[in-house]
């Protein structure tokens, strides 16, 4: 039996601040004027280094942390101001999966998934139907009587995901849910989260320090640095045209393309006198990303292009690539203008005489 569609809820972080008091020491400010809007039904990745404040931000969505200033709004409800039954209702609508699974070793797979429903007072017959449906959804129906010690890391995380879905939440939080897994298992878990988002319409907010996780699953992303959201938007936009240095630093590991040493060692910043080659970094994004623009450049303008290095990525359904090329420096302005007219970014890296 399929779950009914659960419309995802919006999440708004409105100038959120969080300061932790330290006995005998100076207060630590984990978040500072952090603002971010998470669209309903989106998969939004928040990426930052260790200590940047991303876990604190995530824990505010279900009231595990409260802001020192500012507001966190989930589906129109102020989480920090909620108390009693109102806070319990918000928490019921927010599921969470953890880096280290947080399963009860004394309970079977079935028992772990059933736990939130038991706490909620759900009738036994309804629990049985719900848990069986969830185990089928995450591909663990044959392991219902196993215990966590008998499971692989990927299977434990699937149990965690099923448990997080038990109360039919509208928001799913992922706290570094794949960082303890090997690359192949990570991809399996990410595909499962994408399927859940597609089938149920949940809003998924995940935190990670791995840019590849954001690339592979997130429709939107935010970059947090020293407690501030420094850049946010659609994932493709931030990958192809990052504005902040922190974003560019994260991207360098997966979209960086380096010059061959025999070129890099001769590169100079200013165009030398006489014949020279201009070295360009061309970013392929937008509507012309898959078109043979360099071949067209040569055919239409007669400008030869020497490809030095390159890499192609796929961000969601969109292609994105970078090429390092060299062209006749005397025709550099003409070539760059042609590429920019076709919405390709061309940057001069230097010159080789």
d(CA 208, CA 200) in angstroms, rounded, equals 23
Per residue, the 3-state secondary structure of the chain, as one string, reads CCCCCCCCCCEEEEEEEEEECCCCCCCEEEEEEEEEEECCCCEEEEECCCCCCHHHHHHCCCCCCCCCEEEEEECCEECCCCCHHHHHHHHHCEEEEECCCCCCCCCCHHHHHHHHHHHCCCCHHHHHHHHHHHHHHCCCHHHCCCCHHHCCHHHHHHHHHHHHCCCCCCEEEEECCCCCCCHHHHHHHHHHHHHHHHHHCCEEEEEECCHHHHHHHCCEEEEEECCEEEEEEEHHHHHHCCCCHHHHHHHHHHHCCCCCHHHHCCCECCCCCCCCEEEEEEEECCCCCCCCHHHHHHHHHCCCCEEEEEEEEEECCEEEEEEEEEEEHHHHHHHHHHHHHCCCEEEEEEEEC
């005489």: which residue's tokens? Answer: 353
Rounded to the nearest 10 degrees, the angle between the axes of helix 109-119 and helix 153-164 is 20
d(CA 256, CA 320) in angstroms, rounded, equals 12
Strands 77-78 and 277-284: unpaired
CATH architecture of 11-93+169-253: 3-Layer(aba) Sandwich (3.40)
Token pair belonging to 69: 């200033």
Q: Tell me, what's the pLDDT at 207?
A: 93
The CATH number of 261-352 is 3.30.70.260
Decide: 202 and 41 in contact? Cβ < 8 Å.
yes
Token pair belonging to 70: 């500012």
Write down the domain spans for the chain: 11-93+169-253, 261-352
Decide: 143 and 193 in contact? Cβ < 8 Å.
no
Q: Tell me, what's the pLDDT at 286?
A: 66
Q: Tell me, what's the pLDDT at 1?
A: 39
Decide: 315 and 347 in contact? Cβ < 8 Å.
no
d(CA 316, CA 305) in angstroms, rounded, equals 29
Angular region, 101: left φ>0, alpha ψ -120 to 50, beta rest: left
pLDDT digits (tens, 9 = 90+) for 40-92: 999 999 999 988 999 999 999 999 999 999 999 999 999 999 999 999 999 99
Residues 6+ apart with CB under 8 A from 35: 13, 14, 15, 16, 70, 229
pTM: 0.82
Mean pLDDT per 10-residue interval, the chain, length 353 residues: 63 95 85 95 94 94 94 94 92 92 95 95 95 96 95 95 95 91 91 93 93 91 96 91 89 74 90 92 75 90 92 75 90 93 89 91
């Amino acid at each position: 039996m399929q779950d009914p569609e659960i419309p995802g809820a919006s999440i708004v972080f409105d100038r959120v601040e969080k300061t932790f008091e330290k006995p005998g020491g100076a207060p630590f400010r984990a978040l500072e004027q952090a603002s971010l809007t998470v669209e309903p039904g989106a998969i939004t990745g928040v990426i930052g280094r260790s200590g940047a404040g991303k876990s604190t931000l995530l824990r505010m969505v279900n009231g595990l942390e409260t802001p020192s200033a500012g507001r966190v709004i989930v589906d129109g409800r102020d989480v920090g101001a909620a108390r009693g039954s109102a806070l319990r209702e918000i928490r019921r609508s927010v599921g969470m999966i953890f880096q280290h699974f947080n399963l009860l070793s004394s309970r079977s797979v079935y028992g772990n998934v059933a736990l939130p429903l038991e706490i909620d007072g759900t009738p036994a017959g309804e629990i049985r139907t719900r848990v069986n449906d969830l185990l089928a959804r995450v591909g663990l129906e044959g392991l219902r009587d196993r215990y966590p010690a008998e499971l692989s890391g990927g299977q434990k995380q699937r149990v965690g995901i099923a448990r997080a879905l038990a109360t039919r939440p509208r928001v799913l939080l992922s706290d570094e849910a794949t960082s303890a897994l090997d690359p192949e298992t990570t991809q399996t878990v990410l595909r499962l989260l994408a399927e859940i988002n597609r089938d149920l319409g949940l809003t998924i907010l995940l935190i990670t320090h791995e840019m590849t996780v954001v690339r592979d699953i997130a429709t939107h992303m935010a970059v947090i640095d020293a407690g501030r959201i420094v850049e946010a938007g659609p994932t493709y936009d931030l990958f192809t045209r990052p504005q902040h240095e922190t974003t560019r630093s994260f991207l360098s590991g997966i979209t960086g393309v380096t010059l061959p040493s025999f070129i890099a060692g001769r590169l100079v910043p200013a165009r030398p006198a006489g014949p020279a080659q201009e070295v360009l970094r061309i970013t392929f994004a937008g509507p012309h990303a898959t078109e043979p623009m360099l071949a067209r450049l040569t055919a239409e303008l007669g400008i030869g292009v020497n490809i030095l290095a390159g890499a192609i990525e796929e961000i969601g359904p969109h292609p994105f690539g970078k090429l390092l090329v060299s062209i006749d420096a005397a025709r550099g302005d003409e070539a760059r203008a042609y590429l920019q007219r076709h919405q390709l970014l061309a940057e001069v890296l230097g010159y080789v005489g």
